[in-house]
Amino acid sequence: MKCCEFCLAEFHPRPQVKKPRACSRFECQKLRQTQNEKEWRERNPEYPGEKYYEIKRSQRKRRIQSITNSLIKCIEVGGKLFGIEIIMEDFSRILEELLFGLGVRRINKFWNFTSVSFSDDLATS
């Protein structure tokens, strides 16, 4: 029998767990996971934190917006060439939503584009 660090209840640890800290209650497991992440971040301060993911997200968004703008310009020129009137604001919004839904990895297979470096974004933020 072990005592849970979080709710102080006694529990039978699973034999696969080397150092059991928490019982099987969802709340205790959630607290255990949060504590583990906090301790890991303290042991690994050089690993990029939340800002890294925000920067990556903004890079993806800029890349998709750039691709959308390029496609819109092509469609706009084509529409003028063939005399077709396209409501570009609506089309642009729909295309951007579609590309966001696909994601950058899938878009990269079809569209060659050089990305902005991570260090450039850190300098500007």
| pLDDT band at residue 74 using 50, 70 and 90 as cut-offs | confident
pLDDT at 120: 44
**Nearest in space to 106 (alpha carbons), one of 60, 73, 58, 75:** 60
Contacts of 5 (CB under 8 A, 6+ apart): 21, 22, 28, 32
Greatest mean pLDDT among 27-36, 43-52, 65-74 lies in 27-36
The structural domains of the chain, with segments of one domain joined by +, span 2-43, 55-124
pLDDT at 66: 84
Name the average pLDDT for the chain. 79
Structure tokens at 53: 């993911």
- In percent, the amount of the chain with pLDDT more than 90 equals 26
pTM for this predicted structure:
0.43
Q: Is the pLDDT of residue 80 over 60?
A: yes
Q: Is the pLDDT of residue 12 over 80?
A: yes
Q: Is the pLDDT of residue 84 over 90?
A: no
Q: Is the pLDDT of residue 17 over 50?
A: yes
